Amino acid sequence: MHRKVRAYIEKKQLMSPDAKVIVALSGGADSVALLHVLLRLDYKCEAVHCNFHLRGDESLRDEAFVREMCHKMGVGLTVADFDTVAYAGEKKISIEMAARDLRYAFFEKTAAEHGADVIAVAHHKDDVAETMLLNLMRGTGIRGLHGIRPKNGMVVRPLLCVERGEIIEYLDRANIAYVTDSTNLKSDYTRNKVRLQILPLMREINPSIVSTLAQTAERMAGAEKIYDKAIEQGKERVVVNGNIDLASLAAEPSPEALLHEILSPLGFNGMQSDDIMNNIDGDSGKEYSSASHTIVRDRGMLLVEKKEGDSPRINMPLPMAGTIETPQGCIVIEQTVFDGKIDKRPSVAMLDCAKLRLPLQVRNVATGDRFRPFGMRGSKLVSDYLTDRKKSIIEKRNQLAVVDAQGEIVWLVGERVASTCAVTTATTDILRMTYTAK
């Protein structure tokens, strides 16, 4: 056991021989074996124990056992007491998730206080097998099949090279005491059902099922690295300025998998990704939402927009001089004498003061808005003008317009002024507005 764990630590480069280790010690067989093995391998160990107060007297028994064991072994121990039920209620999460959050936050805090290099936890091969089976039953991709990582940040798992049976045999042979969590013997929880019912049945077919699944998980971890590299290369081909080019996506070996990997970090689930793929040839304007992002299909693109970045609808008065900040950008306004020179940049509007009906306002364009673009005949729907300019649905939604006292558009901001107030050779005074987008 000692040789096997040492070899595994070296193979996976979990920690250096002189590392200072925080050992998560529940008092159960796995964590007790972990502490004994690491001490035998001459690691400098400090133990930590969490009392979640979820099992009444049994929780107190475990803490007392751990305190006595560490005292006899001369191992430093830090104990934390948690009101796990209250924390779960406050955070609106499950008891299991609450315990996990509290546990790892405590481990990291203690490691920092002791200047530890790593935090060792006692997961083993059986845990890998159970996790794989649970993920398969819930539905998973390649990442759900890599099992439990040997190292994740400061957390290391030196016992992933051994099975639960080997751990019990090691403890029994060395006459090392440990406690048993009674909840692990009940089939009330899904993981316990896998452990107590499903795995034993699988062992009847394949006595080495735990090692077989652990080996498969390790192979999948290697395959995942190849997969991740391919996904990143695919993203480079289909993502353009944060949006998704549908023609490029369709040309990929697996458009469905790539789209899912692009959208999953943005909060979109598998069903939404599938729905988007199923409607990939649909009409423009279809929207999809996650908690943080909105996706709009617009012609040959999927436009991705952060919800917190969405510009609110605005309607703000404009002074005759000064600077106005909008969610989209700022507008600098000045009134001056016209010198006959026309600035043709779309970010600049030069309006004939004599033709303006004051006061002016800046607002988002609305459905049905029309204006008379300078240089064009007649009026035009703003939506049609922006379509001709190949503006996306999201850009149209956030487009600003400066309107006069009668609500008529005098400047489509950043685009074009209206012919009704454009400067001419007869203009004397102008209102100059310069727009800088954020």
Model confidence over 375-424: pLDDT tens digits?
A: 888 888 888 888 888 777 777 878 899 998 888 999 999 898 998 889 88
Instruction: Count CB atoms within 10 A of the CB of residue 163.
Output: 19
Q: Which of 32-46, 195-209, 234-248, 393-407 has the lowest mean pLDDT?
A: 393-407
Question: What does the alpha-carbon distance between residue 177 and residue 171 come to, in Å, rounded to a whole number?
Answer: 7
Helix %, strand %, coil % for the chain, to 5? 45, 25, 30
Model confidence over 145-186: pLDDT tens digits?
A: 888 999 999 999 999 999 999 999 999 999 999 999 887 777
Q: Which residues lie below 8 Å from residue 241, measured CB to CB, with a gap of 6+? A: none
Please tell me the predicted confidence (pLDDT) of residue 165.
94
Please tell me the predicted confidence (pLDDT) of residue 312.
63
**What pTM did the predictor assign?**
0.66
- Judged by DSSP in three states, 252 sits in coil
Q: What domains lie within the chain, and their CATH numbers?
A: 2-206 (3.40.50.620), 241-308 (no CATH), 315-437 (3.50.40.10)
- Judged by DSSP in three states, 403 sits in strand
Model confidence over 276-305: pLDDT tens digits?
A: 888 877 767 777 888 788 888 887 889 888
Tokens (6 digits) for 57: 């007297």
Mean pLDDT, to the nearest integer, of 329-355? 89
Q: 360-364 and 315-318: which strand pairing?
A: antiparallel
Instruction: Count CB atoms within 10 A of the CB of residue 160.
Output: 24
41: confidence class by pLDDT, cuts 50, 70, 90: very high
311: confidence class by pLDDT, cuts 50, 70, 90: low
Model confidence over 344-364: pLDDT tens digits?
A: 888 899 999 989 888 899 998
Please tell me the predicted confidence (pLDDT) of residue 187.
65
Cis peptide upstream of residue 359 (ω within 30 degrees of 0): yes
267: confidence class by pLDDT, cuts 50, 70, 90: confident
Residues paired with residue 381 on neighbouring β-strands, in sequence order: 370
Q: Name the average pLDDT for the chain.
A: 90
